[in-house]
A and B are shown apart, each in its own frame.
Chain A
Amino acid sequence: MSTHDAVTPASARIILICSGKGGVGKTTLTANLGIALARLGERTVVIDADFGLRNLDLLLGLENRIVYTAQEVLAGSCRLEQALVKHKLEPNLSLMPAGNPRMLEWLTPDDMKTVANLVAERSDYVLIDCPAGVEQGFKNAAAACREAIVITTPEMSAVRDADRVIGLLNSQGIQPVQLVLNRVRPKMVANQEMLAVDDVTDILALPLLGLVVEDEQVIVSTNRGEPLTLNGTSSPAARAYVNVARRLRGEGVPLIDPSKERRGLRARLMAKLRKSGNS
């Protein structure tokens, strides 16, 4: 699929990763998806568009290797290759670091477009880690993308904010927009104490690109600065992120069914009671 020698400007997929609400897993998804795509042989660049509160460098373990940022690229004071930070263990992946927060005063949608199109010239996938909110930072990042992944958790506030973002993406004609449902707790879903997967997909009316169950290993991997997808696919979240990457490339990978996960005694008992109550 990759054509590493030819320059293919228009063919790169520029994908916005956004959520509206903060803390639902945008940056974690960007880092893991970036590594997963790179490991599948795709030349991938992740752009940190969160100039105010940048963190993508930290999750990738590249925070000490940043010399130049998008600011110097836009100012023309460094070459693109100088700003791009190549991942030490996964050379197919590079990071375009966010510039200084003061840039937010003058940064425009066209600036983000310029940066994204520049890196797209030499890659197969460009992932833009969007800031939280629906204000200027979001508008800048959204202007640069051609398609989008909305990530949310099965919580009311996250779903509501995702709905707002989807409305904005639709009004800008961004297509396709796909959904990743993060931090699903199968036990709580089985106990009906959490929005079910179908509830969220029905309400948001988006195709489901991936389903990530709550996984403590995500925190451990952040502590280490090594995304889970970097070290094989041992944990549930790592498997889910790799599956998102494969589905993005068009592979038919079936979704996991959280209700098929092993249930506790109480959940099984409740399910039985409900069944006998309905009949």
Chain B
Amino acid sequence: MTLIDFIQRLLGRDKPSGALARERLQLVLAHDRSDLNPELLEQMRREILEVVQKYVEIDLESGDVSLETGDRVTALVANLPIRRARPLAIPRTAGADMPDGVVGHGEIGASTDQRTDPDEVDAEKAAVADPPLPG
């Protein structure tokens, strides 16, 4: 650390680089461990939003789908603020028409519970398996 760095730090202008390294590492490892490239993640994000939007109206501006990591487990975290449930919800009997593997109707419907508060946040976590097997 040079004297100038030290003064910058004293004045609170400069964050210690150790903390920066930790943050950057955690982010890059989350992606490394999931083996998802940014395009795939973006595509998955769009598709998740499409599916969720069929059931509830969500705030697209503040919505976020990202990868978080800790303790060698990577989690896909969707943070989707719900404005309100769709007034013309798909009837519960229509479950068979849903595309394969999407989130079930009952799960989302139950947690939103017809609330109209735009700040209501429903976070959905799905653990991705440990680092993928090598090819």
Contact = CB atoms under 8 A, between A and B. Distances in A.
A193 B19 CA distance: 8
A175 interface: no
A180 B45 CA distance: 38
Interface residues of B, number: 25
B18 A195 contact: yes
Interface stretch (B21-29, B56-64, B102-110, B116-124): B21-29
B25 A167 contact: no
B17 interface: yes
B29 A163 contact: yes
Contacts, number: 67
A146 interface: no
Contacts of A171: 130-134
A189 interface: yes
A163 B24 CA distance: 14
Nearest to A157: B25
Nearest to B15: A192
Nearest first, the 10 A-B pairs at minimum CB distance are: A167-B131, A192-B16, A192-B18, A205-B72, A171-B133, A199-B22, A205-B71, A193-B17, A156-B21, A195-B21
Interface of B: 1, 6, 9-10, 16-19, 21-22, 24-26, 28-29, 32-33, 70-72, 130-134
Interface of A: 134, 156, 159-160, 163-164, 166-168, 170-171, 188-189, 191-196, 199, 202-205, 266, 270, 273
